[in-house]
Structure formats: structure tokens, C-alpha cells
Amino acid sequence: MSKEPSSDMVRKGSCVCGDISLEVRGEPVRVAACYCDHCRVNSGGFAQLGARFPSSALIVHDPNSLLNSYTFTDTSSGNPKQKYFCRTCGSNLYAAVNVPDGEGIVSVRVPILDPKFEDKGLHPKIEGFPQNKPRFLEDLEKQSQL
């Protein structure tokens, strides 16, 4: 019996200062770009890109105990959500969603994972709160490049 090749996939990432690193195994349940108010502010951008995995797929290496969390309770689903970040550099690493009577889910921030974005195989296939998507995105490719 052979496993699906993709189930052995390991993606690694770290915060900006490098004190916290993580790895996630297997393929995500889903990859989404979310434009909700929490995600916009939390990401510091126009969308948060999250790859959802079962909690058991995530391994965090935090030798100096710098991982900090903040709990959102006013979520659209009503389920509390913890965001995890590095207390030294502030990098937004992942969120954990508590699903009653279910296995925990983590949403790993796609941009922190290696390698460069186009090579990750983690293109978002779902949009959350698309009504909040900025209209300028449609025109951005036509603009001059830095």
C-alpha cells in the first residue's frame, strides 16, 4: 500500500526575527483569502491568506517561549478564535479555531511559509467576505510596477 505522495508534504515557515519556526504536514483542507474586518486589520493588508489544516498537522518550534496569543470572541461563526504571533517581532503566524465537538483547526498564514508564494501550491480557492474586497485590486495589474 502506498500513501498519496501529497500526504508527505511538509511546508516550513518562520517569523521575521526567526525565533519561532513551524512546519505543517499534508495538504490543507482549504485555502482562503478573507477580507473581513478582523483579517484586514490583523494582516495589515487587504486580505488574510489562510491555509486550514487539522491542529495535529502543525508543529511549532518556540525554544524561547515567544509565542503569544490573543483571543477573538466576536467572530462571525460565534466560535472563539486565537491568533498566534511572535511577541518579539509581531509576525502573524496562525490562528486556532475552536470547533465544539470537533478536531481543532488551524489557519496557517500562507505568506510565512516557504518557498515564494507562487511555488507553495497554496493558492486561495475561496474568498471570505468578498463584498469587502477593495475595488483597486481589479486595476492593480494595469498600474505601473515598482
The residue within the footprint of Zn ion, chosen from 34, 96, 105, 108 (CB under 5 A), is 34
Helix locations, 11-80, DSSP H: 37-43
Q: Residue 89 interacts with Zn ion (CB under 5 A)?
A: yes
d(CA 121, CA 31): 10
Least distance in Å: CB of 67 to Zn ion? Answer: 9
Q: Residue 24 interacts with Zn ion (CB under 5 A)?
A: no
Least distance in Å: CB of 145 to Zn ion? Answer: 28
Cell of 39: 483579517
d(CA 118, CA 145): 18
Q: What is the CA radius of gyration of the chain?
A: 16
Least distance in Å: CB of 59 to Zn ion? Answer: 17
Q: Residue 15 interacts with Zn ion (CB under 5 A)?
A: yes
Part in contact with Zn ion (CB under 5 A); list of ranges 3-11, 27-35, 99-107, 116-124: 27-35
Our CA angle for 117, 121, 123, nearest 5°, is 70
28 φ/ψ angles, rounded to the nearest 5 degrees: -70, 155
Return the number of the residue (24 or 34) whose C-beta is nearest Zn ion: 34
Site for Zn ion, rule CB under 5 A:
15, 17, 19, 34, 36, 39, 86, 88-89
